[in-house]
Structure 1
């Protein structure tokens, strides 16, 4: 038994994929749980699993191996669709997280568990959002926000698993090359700006839009988890108020750039 193995979910996604690359590059022992046979990296061992199945669909032999060897769990997998039916979003983001916690409880050498969340668990709450789990009632604009907020509560309610929550902002591309690995709402708006002369009406001022570089987010996550882990804490991995861009300025930038092309 190695007792020094990182178990990763969401390796085919943006954050999980970037994190896996960093672990492999540093020579860490890592294994991914994946729904498909496709390996995002030939150097990344994968085990077939499904968050929607009881026991993650793992055989008793595989489960026993993982629980004897895994020392770290990084849970990135999620249903990130904004318009997903609530039942489907709950099945992956809440029930799937509970199944990961169930697996974690049986890991005899587990030292830490990372749950990747989103800054948008704040929903429609205005003002400064604290780095803590939200227990008060709030409104949400998407099922993604709603279910990720509930998943956070489940994670930090679990006293037998040493866990931390990392809330990510919107990752838009690589800080050096601008390369985009996964499209999100920002890229859809940027694409739309190529076809429109402008927006009808004026965007509301003092509406900060928080955007981060994808490689920076992965670097920060890796640093916080592997070098500064603290059980029970919530971190915001975001640009912050002083480095955000105001909504009207963002649209002006997008439209001006689209006209130059």
Structure 2
């Protein structure tokens, strides 16, 4: 093969240089297009990921709301059973009522535990509000149970006093014991009456507080698309009447003795 002359080498160099210079704009355009495609792909991935995350959050929120709605329905049944006792007082004994209260508190406590463990990673204010409301309802049930217990004790003490007064001694030797026993039972009547009046007054305050709290949370639940039927106002008349009658009876006893 013949060796290239200097002029031939220069000519080949110039041609190769010209070819490379001509290819540079195309290479730059191709590189720019690749970068744009890469950025576009990344944006698409991020957008799809964001939409997927939002959809997943909405799905879990829907599930949480369903559970809250179920809890509200269960609690409604538990609470209304306690509230409507006044309208069914002739059909239930004190013992049965106390058992109802205990079961109501127990079942509502289980409901509270269930709600607290429901989607704990989600900060949903209505769930927190509902848990607080259920806890307040438990305190209300305890207040009503205490009121009925004190009312029962006062009524029992008054009945026992009346029976004792009627039970005159058959001989003169029994009068001292009789008078002492009557005095003791009289003191017991007054003490249990005061306790019943105090408990009735506390119950009325708790009832009013619960009616106000129920009104607020009912609006919050309804705004979230959940059904919440207020029941404290519905049964207020019967509950308040029983407590007011107990207070009046206690005050009458205080004036009699």
Query: TM-score, normalization: structure 1?
Result: 0.25
Q: Which has the higher strand share?
A: 1
> Which of structures 1 and 2 has the larger relative contact order (alpha carbons within 8 angstroms, sep 6+)?
2
Q: Which has the higher helix share?
A: 2
